[in-house]
């Protein structure tokens, strides 16, 4: 069965500092991996995705993530945090062993301090 673990339910950074949100997954076959962002009172929006090919993927708003198969990780980073990045971030996995259903991690709330 596939699963997703996000380390840290809350992360706080200063504006301009590096953002690092951690995600580890479990899947018996090559997975599709995603990061979604949720702003208050809204649905989730796709930030970036990994399917095949290049392991470093770039998304919207300056975010990127690197797929590391050996570590079963897909950590999300952004070099310089902006106040508008404050939101909840979800890592997700889809694989054909799960019937192509998408399973989400518990989420990490990012706080950005001025």
Among 107, 110, 111, 113, binds another protein (CB under 8 A): 107
Q: Which is nearer to another protein, 5 or 72 (CB)?
A: 5
86 near another protein, judged by CB under 8 A: no
Q: Which is nearer to another protein, 15 or 88 (CB)?
A: 88
What is the torsion angle, in degrees rounded to the nearest 10, for the CA atoms of residue 110, residue 45, residue 63 and residue 76? 60
Return d(Cα 36, Cα 23) in angstroms, integer: 12
In this structure, are residues 109 and 90 in contact, taking their beta carbons and an 8 Å threshold? no
| Contact flag: residue 51 with another protein (CB under 8 A) | yes
């Amino acid at each position: 069965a596939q699963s997703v673990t996000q380390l840290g339910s809350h992360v706080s950074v200063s504006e301009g500092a590096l953002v690092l949100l951690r995600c580890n997954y479990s899947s018996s076959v090559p997975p599709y991996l995603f990061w979604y962002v949720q702003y208050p009172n809204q649905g989730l929006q796709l930030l970036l995705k990994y399917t095949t090919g290049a392991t470093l993927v770039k998304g919207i708003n300056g975010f990127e993530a690197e797929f590391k198969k050996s570590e079963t990780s897909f950590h999300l980073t952004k070099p310089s945090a902006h106040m508008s990045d404050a939101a909840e971030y979800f890592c997700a996995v889809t694989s054909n062993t799960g019937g192509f259903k998408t399973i989400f991690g518990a989420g990490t709330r990012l706080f950005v301090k001025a």
